[in-house]
Amino acid sequence: AKTGEGLCSIFSPSFVQWDAMTFFSESVISQMFRTLDKDEIPVNDGIDLLQLVLNFETKDPLILSCVLTNVSALFPFVTYRPEYLPQVLSKLFASVTFEVIEESKAPRTRAVKNVRRHACSSIIKMCRDYPQLVLPNFEMLYNHVKQLLSNELLLTQMEKCALMEALVLISNQFKDYERQKAFLEELMAPVAGLWLSPEMQRVLSDPEAFISYVGADNKIADPVLEDPSGLNRSRISFCVYTILGVVKRARWPAVPEEAKAGGFLVGYMPSGSPIYRNPCTEQVLKLLDNLLALIRTHNNLYMPEMVARLGETFAKALDMLEVEKNAILGLPQPLLELYDSPVYKTVLERMQGFFCTLYDNCFHILGNVGPSMQQDFYTVEGLATQLLSSAFVNLNNIPDYRLRVFVKPLVLSCPSEYYETLVCPMLGPLFTYLHVRLSQKWQVINQRSMLCEDDAADDNPESQEMLEEQLVRLLTREVMDLITVCCVSKKGVEHNTTAAVDGDDDEAMATEVTPPASAELTELGKCLMKQEDVCTALLITAYTSLSWKDTLSCQRTTTQLCWPLLKQVLPGNLLPDAVSWFFTSVLKGLQTHGQHDGCMAALVHLAFQIYEALRPRYTELKAVMEQIPDIQRDSLEQFDSKLLNPTLQKVADKRRKDHFKRLITGCIGKPLGEQFRKEVHIRNLPSLFKKVKPSLETDVLENEDGEGLTALFEP
């Protein structure tokens, strides 16, 4: 069970034993620290075990990964013996630069990459969970990181930035704004020098220059070994990784008194909540313009004329990675190949990984910069215009797998004072565009079964269609979730749909689902609904999505979004055609999703709410009801008369809803197995054998012995 180099595989007895011990130590030690009193914890035994693990040396990446996990599991014992911290740090830093064969030119295998990443993650976790413990060793840690960073080729960009993140986490414990700001300025000086250089500004703002700089227009003779522009790509990645790490990790003290004493407090909001300043703000704002330029350039790479400029080797550089496809389709990764194969086998895969990671990280920065820098970011002059002209350009050419809805964290952390100037100008056009895009995508999916297109260019059109459909579903869920988060506050009500929403199985739906009565529009939702074009886009998107073939999205939208949005416009004068369209959209949703109990319950409830609220003002709803197949007109008249006559005694809500459900049964979709079933009616057939009933010759109250039922009552 060894690999070609004599190292362990996942089936080797040595690895299996280490893996079992690792699982045991992770499970037991964490529970022990949670449940036992301080004086009951076996500190000496734990430290002895930690010492054995620290002294263990191996060149096998799989076993070393288990060793690192054991170090992390045993680390809580170091809180009792801080003198062991330098040994732990030395072990972790040695693993950060781990190689099976020193100074090898061959690409690192995934197992080696995992060890190095594991060591970086362990350092970050240690600095995040035990910052006060690590703080006295900050200078030693800082010097060690600077030494590693001085060699540009020793670490990957992600590894460099992971170590810098660890330093930033410890710097949060300075609790001194000026000291932390000076440290971050020193830490980011190399990044700022590179990012703001004239050459980099030219590269980041011009798609053609960018393609040339990263080497995507080259024709490579040896796609495995030759990569002349790899260093250029790594420099861009390093800058973006560093900005993201600092934005994510730099924070003011959580305790208000400490924040005030350290100089982080700058004032108070009108509501009375404190306003803090982040020590990284000044550094990040300097780099923001070039970051937005990079995002604009990256979006423009998908223009047909830019795609045509890619070299022959990199014609598919902007395509999805195989690992992304497998994740979207829910396919497991082949375990046997994972550890021995290089992370990227060819320069094309490296280029694909570069574009994918760079794009994601840029939008992660935009998502994190709002919560991190708060008012310092939201008050940037012309921010809405800058975002619209960078993150939202050329969206038509960007494929679904790269369309990132990054605005959720940006919006959630935005103070209400900036809704009118920043959020609404940004979300209005975005929601309108997303509605048009999703409608077109679902129209293609719905018509696909009726079209017969011979696409000879595609090797496997069925799997491609499946991938595209799943991407549209995922994008739909993200968009509907974004609209819900922006517009609806749930007021702490527990939803019956939790199990369905959290699960991966679209069929696993709750059977009793009703929209929460207390769901109201947020302040942002009310602000958006005041603008007629945005209001129209939100309503049309929400109600059109009910008939899109994604059960999970339909149930979420029905239970959380549709009624609060419609309720906001009820006081106004809705056009009769609009009212009919809303009601018809819900009935179409029932036709599409009625076979799922959870969706059916939610959609019936929504249709009932709309009909009860609007039928007294709009007779057009009755005309819609009359078009439902097999509807009983007399029953409809009876329902309407009770609804429209306020003098009649109100029937219980459940009985009214059951009556309404019987009326609309004709439009509720059935499972495929029942749709074309022929009803078989079997008449009662005569019996083959006729039983003869015995005749009673004697009175049941008397018998031959004279002991009948009457004898029971005699004294």
pLDDT class of 1 with cuts at 50, 70, 90: very low
Q: Is 148 in the same domain as 204? A: no
Render pLDDT for 234-286 as a digit per residue (tens, 0 to 9). 999 999 999 999 999 999 999 999 999 999 999 888 878 899 999 999 999 99
Asked if residue 480 has pLDDT above 70, the reply is: yes
Residue 57: Cβ-neighbour burial (10 angstroms; 0-12, 13-18, 19+) = exposed
Task: Report pLDDT for 518.
Answer: 59
Task: Report pLDDT for 574.
Answer: 87
Evaluate whether residue 648 is within a structural domain: yes
Say which amino acid occupies 652: A
Q: Is 147 in the same domain as 217? A: no
Domain ends where: 135, 168, 201?
A: 168
What rounded mean pLDDT belongs to the chain?
A: 85
Asked if residue 5 has pLDDT above 80, the reply is: no
Q: Is 163 in the same domain as 297? A: no
Check residues 651 and 594 and name the one with the higher pLDDT.
594
Distance CA 116, CA 94 (A): 9
Say which amino acid occupies 626: E
Evaluate whether residue 667 is within a structural domain: yes
Q: Is 143 in the same domain as 188? A: no
Say which amino acid occupies 704: E
Render pLDDT for 611-621 as a digit per residue (tens, 0 to 9). 999 998 899 99
Task: Report pLDDT for 605.
Answer: 93
Task: Report pLDDT for 333.
Answer: 66
Render pLDDT for 639-655 as a digit per residue (tens, 0 to 9). 888 888 876 666 677 88
Q: Is 162 in the same domain as 186? A: no
Task: Report pLDDT for 704.
Answer: 56
* HSE, side-chain direction, 13 A CA sphere, residue 327: 7
Q: Is 476 in the same domain as 598? A: yes
Q: Is 183 in the same domain as 45? A: no
- Average pLDDT of the residues in 70-80: 94
Evaluate whether residue 272 is within a structural domain: yes
Task: Report pLDDT for 511.
Answer: 38
The two three-digit tokens of residue 186, written as one number: 């020193």
Residues, the chain: 715
Task: Report pLDDT for 494.
Answer: 40
Q: Is 157 in the same domain as 239? A: no
Residue with tokens 């009649």: 648
- Average pLDDT of the residues in 335-355: 72
Domain count, the chain: 3
Closest by CA to 68, choosing from 4, 131, 111, 12, is 111
Asked if residue 338 has pLDDT above 70, the reply is: no
Asked if residue 452 has pLDDT above 60, the reply is: no
* CB crowding 221-241: b at 16 or more within 10 Å, else e: eeeeeebebeebbbbbbbbbb
Asked if residue 373 has pLDDT above 50, the reply is: yes
Task: Report pLDDT for 302.
Answer: 94
Range of the domain at 164: 1-168
**Helix, strand, or coil (residue 515):** coil
In the chain, % of residues over pLDDT 90:
53
- Average pLDDT of the residues in 521-539: 90
Task: Report pLDDT for 4.
Answer: 44
Evaluate whether residue 450 is within a structural domain: no
Cβ neighbors of 639 (< 8 A, separation 6 or more) are 656, 659, 660, 663
Task: Report pLDDT for 654.
Answer: 83
The two three-digit tokens of residue 669, written as one number: 């979709």
Domain ends where: 352, 380, 408?
A: 380
pLDDT class of 509 with cuts at 50, 70, 90: very low
Evaluate whether residue 704 is within a structural domain: no
Evaluate whether residue 126 is within a structural domain: yes
pTM: 0.84
- Average pLDDT of the residues in 274-301: 95
Closest by CA to 485, choosing from 524, 535, 437, 526, is 524
Q: Is 199 in the same domain as 336? A: yes
Cβ neighbors of 302 (< 8 A, separation 6 or more) are 318, 394, 397, 398, 399, 402
The two three-digit tokens of residue 551, written as one number: 């059960």
Asked if residue 508 has pLDDT above 80, the reply is: no
DSSP sequence for 287-351? HHHHHHHHHHHHHHTTSHHHHTTS-GGGTTTTSPPHHHHHHHHTPPP-HHHHTTSBS--SHHHHH
Q: Is 44 in the same domain as 129? A: yes
**Helix, strand, or coil (residue 111):** helix
Cβ neighbors of 275 (< 8 A, separation 6 or more) are 265, 266, 267, 268, 269, 374, 375
Q: Is 264 in the same domain as 136? A: no
In the chain, % of residues over pLDDT 70:
85
How many other C-beta atoms lie within 10 A of the C-beta of residue 3? 16
> Mapped to the 3 state alphabet, what secondary structure does 436-492 carry?
HHHHHHHHHHHHHCCCCCCCCCCCCHHHHHHHHHHHHHHHHHHHHHHHHHHHEECCC
Evaluate whether residue 53 is within a structural domain: yes
Asked if residue 514 has pLDDT above 60, the reply is: no
- For the ranges 51-65, 194-208, 331-345, 392-406, the lowest mean pLDDT is seen at 331-345
Q: Is 17 in the same domain as 105? A: yes
Evaluate whether residue 356 is within a structural domain: yes
Distance CA 343, CA 367 (A): 28
How far apart, in Å, do the first and last CA atoms of the chain sit? 93
Cβ neighbors of 279 (< 8 A, separation 6 or more) are 171, 177, 180, 181, 184, 250, 252, 264
- Average pLDDT of the residues in 445-462: 60
Task: Report pLDDT for 696.
Answer: 58
* HSE, side-chain direction, 13 A CA sphere, residue 83: 1
Q: How many degrees, rounded to 5, is the angle at CA 306 between CA 304 and CA 309? A: 115
Hey, which bits of 602-678 come out as E strands?
Answer: none
φ and ψ of 298, to 5 deg: -65, -40
Distance CA 686, CA 46 (A): 84
The two three-digit tokens of residue 429, written as one number: 């056009």
Domain ends where: 359, 380, 401?
A: 380
Render pLDDT for 102-141 as a digit per residue (tens, 0 to 9). 655 566 778 888 999 999 999 999 999 999 999 999 998 9
